[in-house]
Amino acid sequence: MKLKNNPLALVTGASAGIGEASARALHAAGAQVLLAARRTDRLQALAEELPGSETVQLDVRDASAVQKALQDRAIDIAVLNAGLARGAGPIQEGDPADWDEMLDTNVKGVLHCARAVLPGMLDRKRGDMVLLGSVAGRQVYPGGNVYNASKFAVHALYQALRLDAGGRGVRFTTLDPGMVQTEFAEVRYRGDKDQAKAVYDGMQPLAPEDVADALVYAVTRPAHVNVGEIVLWPTCQSSTRDVART
């Protein structure tokens, strides 16, 4: 699966997990990658492995910084992946600071990036915008509450983008994985490695490379084909609540 004409691919959250794997896979498929995240040391290390790539320190919650960094770049493929969960307790015990962080990153971060990148794509009448949603944006699970709400919102934004900007040459995709082994659980449990490890005990999650593979499939289809929604489950996971463990 190869990309034509060395397109410029933005990947937000490229310093870890799915974003890092996506950057590698897009580069291998023929893209020049623009690596965005807050941890620049990690971005620099990755850029050294991917000739022709660039890095940009970016907090997607900062609307003006996102606009400034991206508005003048002719981005062909935008992978809006930066995201996180904080905590897994019930709403009645939730911390509003965690809610702000999830909603500001997962929902408004997508909006800020789309606002900066989409006008150029529409002017050029081509481009791919891929949102990292989740099965958590399709099914709620206990303790998922605000994270679920943020990913349901991402699904709504995917549908809204199709309506607001559809039919003008740009393709929109929502890529919705089930459980993927990344730093996601460590971030969710604020560095508690035992709690994070327990998430994947006795089951085989997706690897970030599995998600990146689906992404590359979507963006390498002929221009008249838009892979709209991809739902990717680990085989042992039958819903957001049901995982077969050994």
Ligand X SMILES: NC(=O)c1ccc[n+]([C@@H]2O[C@H](COP(=O)([O-])OP(=O)(O)OC[C@H]3O[C@@H](n4cnc5c(N)ncnc54)[C@H](OP(=O)(O)O)[C@@H]3O)[C@@H](O)[C@H]2O)c1
Min. distance of Cβ 224 from ligand X in angstroms?
A: 28
- Closest approach, Cβ 2 to ligand X, in A, equals 24
Chain residues 55-114 in contact with ligand X, contact rule CB under 6 A:
58-61, 81-84, 105
Residue 35, interface with ligand X (CB under 6 A)? no
Using CB under 6 A, pick the residue from 8, 10, 34, 37 that binds ligand X: 37
Q: Number of residues interacting with ligand X: please give it, by CB under 6 A.
A: 28
DSSP 46-104: HHHHSTT-EEEE--TT-HHHHHHHHTTS--SEEEE----------GGG--HHHHHHHII
Positions marked catalytic? 147
- When binding is defined by CB under 6 A, the residue of 8, 10, 12, 218 that contacts ligand X is 12
- The window from 2-10, 32-40, 44-52, 122-130 that contacts ligand X (CB under 6 A) reads 32-40
**Three-state secondary-structure class, residue 44:** helix
Edge-to-edge strand order for the sheet containing 32-37? 54-57, 32-37, 8-12, 77-80, 127-132, 170-177, 229-232
Q: Name the 3-class secondary structure at 36.
A: strand
* Nearer to ligand X (CB atom), residue 106 or residue 170: 106
Using the rule CB under 6 A, is 180 a contact of ligand X? Answer: yes
Choice between 62 and 220, CB closer to ligand X: 62
> Residue 57 is encoded by which pair of tokens?
């320190």
The least distance separating ligand X from the CB of residue 226, rounded to whole angstroms, comes to 21
Q: Does 17 bind ligand X (CB under 6 A)?
A: yes
Rounded least distance, CB 77 to ligand X, Å: 16
Q: Nearest-5° angle of CA 139, CA 25, CA 175?
A: 15
In the chain, which residue ranges form alpha helices assigned H by DSSP? 17-28, 40-49, 63-70, 96-102, 109-124, 145-165, 184-188, 193-199, 208-219
Judged by CB under 6 A, the chain residues 40 through 59 that form the site for ligand X are 58-59
Site string for ligand X, 207-246 (x = CB under 6 A): ----------------------------------------
Query: In Å, how far are 97, 114, 169 from 222, measured between CA atoms?
Result: 43, 23, 12
Considering the complex, state which of residue 160 and residue 207 has its C-beta at the smaller distance from ligand X: 207
Q: Which is nearer to ligand X, 73 or 126 (CB)?
A: 73
Distance of CA 3 to the CA centre of its chain: 20
φ and ψ at 171, to 5 degrees?
Answer: -105, 140
List, in sequence order, every residue forming a beta bridge with 180; answer none if it has no partner.
206
**Torsion angles phi and psi, residue 93, rounded to 5:** -115, 10
Tokens standing for residue 90: 């019930």
Which residue's CB is nearer to ligand X, number 8 or number 18?
18
- Residues forming contacts to ligand X in the complex (CB under 6 A) are 12-13, 15-19, 37-39, 58-61, 81-84, 105, 132, 134, 177, 179-180, 182-184, 187
